Amino acid sequence: MADVSDSNLENITWGTTSRRNRRRFLRDAGLATLPYLVGGHLLAEQPRPGNLIPREKNPDNLEFPFDTLSSLITPNDLFYVRNHFAAPTVREEDWSLEVVGAVEQPLMLSYREIKALPSTKLRVTLECAGNGRSSLVPKAKGVPWELGAVSTAEWTGLTLAAVLDRAKVKPSAVEVVLEGADSGEVKNEPKPHKAIAFARSLPLAKALKPEVLLAYQMNGDPLPSAHGFPVRAVVGGWYGMASVKWLRRIIVTDRQFQGYWQTTDYSVWEKRDGLPVQVPITEVQVKASIARPRAGEVLPAGRPARIQGAAWTGGAAQGDKVEVSTDAGKTWAIAKLLGEPMPWCWRLWEYDWKTPPAGAHALMARATDDRGRVQPLERDPNRRTYVINHCVPTEVTVR
């Protein structure tokens, strides 16, 4: 298994200093922000090394400070955290993974056994289906995420397919339920009346794909507790709720799973056969977000300024496109995509702008993915408070 060096992980970055060096430099300089030169372009503010932004307490829900985005890989201590219940403390010596249900060979795998199986590494962007919720009008209930309930890590683990292969899935199998070790009572009605575990299913066809991992390392370190120690699912291309943390049990079923987290919660309305039906949220929709300038930032007039962000989608990223508008969506120009496209992983982009005369300006970004799906300008209310990928303007002032 090839070792991935730090420089490799951060091979696409803005600026020349690494985040950590910059942090040290800033600490030594005793400054929070500095004029920031990238390729000769002055940005009003430097991407500061930040801290996770608390959005909810008990359980912890913490947001990646998206305005500090500076490389493909999000460091573990800045990766957003989405918990429905208190994070369980799992001791590796007490833990094992059960594989049961419609299989010829039920399994009990220890942490050691799992780590001894052939592993792969995959860069996967996880986005919470509620990312961007705070921009919804009218104001929506739920964790008030701004732009940063999205992050990318390099995950090490084995494929779920390899485990299912060992367990010998029966021909009657339809879905694979992934259950976490965390549980509790759901607060809002309608809800089951006792404590339930976090659990989510994948159709068998998705469960067998190479982008579905049982991961035990995140950016080269053992999974941090907040991200699902000792083993979590990582489901490339699907919203974060499918990537079950603190994995404890895998249940192969011969019918569709109708659990709380994919019927009442994490479901949207879709029209099927002319009728609205509630369907579980699955694939990530195409989206570009602006990291910098930040909303409310003041930029000098008539100067070069660089607009920077990331774009992602639920499938392979080949042939995608990001457009930027600096006039609230009236006209669009092509942004520069950085690095090579990688499936399941976001891509950084930038656009060089010459700031106009003084005034208020609405910046927008719009992505198109390899399947030609274009990020919408309007919100689809059938998505309840999830799957938020319509273009949201970043308002800046030029002075």
- By CB under 5 A, name the binding residues for Mo ion: 82, 128, 240-241
Nearest-approach distance from CB 157 to ligand MTE, in angstroms: 14
Q: Does 180 bind ligand MTE (CB under 6 A)?
A: yes
Provide the strand spans (E) within 76-174.
81-82, 96-101, 107-110, 120-127, 150-159
Per CB under 6 A, which of residues 158..177 are in contact with ligand MTE? Answer: none
Residue 279, both tokens: 């369907």
Q: Using alpha carbons, list the distances in angstroms from residue 35 to 43, 44, 299.
A: 6, 6, 11
- What residue is closest to Mo ion based on CB? 128
Residue 243: which of ligand MTE, Mo ion, none does it interact with, CB under 5 to 8 A by kind? Answer: ligand MTE
Residue 245: which of Mo ion, ligand MTE, none does it interact with, CB under 5 to 8 A by kind? Answer: ligand MTE
* Between 22 and 227, CB nearer to ligand MTE: 227
Q: Are strands 394-398 and 359-368 parallel, antiparallel or unpaired?
A: antiparallel
Residue 54, classified by CB atoms within 10 Å of its CB into exposed (0-12), middle (13-18) or buried (19+), is: exposed
* Between 192 and 319, CB nearer to ligand MTE: 192
What track of x and - describes contact with ligand MTE for positions 106 through 145 (by CB under 6 A)? --------------------x-x-----------------
* Between 244 and 299, CB nearer to ligand MTE: 244
Q: Does 198 bind ligand MTE (CB under 6 A)?
A: yes
Secondary structure percentages of the chain, helix, strand, coil, to 5: 15, 35, 50
* Between 128 and 286, CB nearer to ligand MTE: 128
Residue type, 351: Y
Per CB under 6 A, which of residues 231..270 are in contact with ligand MTE? Answer: 240-241, 243-246
Report whether 83 contacts 56 (CB < 8 A).
Answer: no
Residue 103, both tokens: 């299989």
Q: Using alpha carbons, list the distances in angstroms from residue 151 to 6, 216, 242.
A: 17, 17, 15
The DSSP call for residue 247 is E
Residue 246: which of ligand MTE, Mo ion, none does it interact with, CB under 5 to 8 A by kind? Answer: ligand MTE
Nearest-approach distance from CB 106 to ligand MTE, in angstroms: 21
Nearest-approach distance from CB 75 to ligand MTE, in angstroms: 13
| Element of type H or E holding 201 | strand 196-203
What track of x and - describes contact with ligand MTE for positions 55 through 84 (by CB under 6 A)? ------------------------xxxxxx
Residue 167 φ/ψ, nearest 5 degrees: -80, -10
Residue 81: which of Mo ion, ligand MTE, none does it interact with, CB under 5 to 8 A by kind? Answer: ligand MTE
Q: Return the closest-CA partner of residue 120 out of 234, 8, 245.
A: 234
Residue 170, both tokens: 């029966």
Residues that bind ligand MTE (CB under 6 A): 79-84, 126, 128, 180, 182, 198, 227, 240-241, 243-246
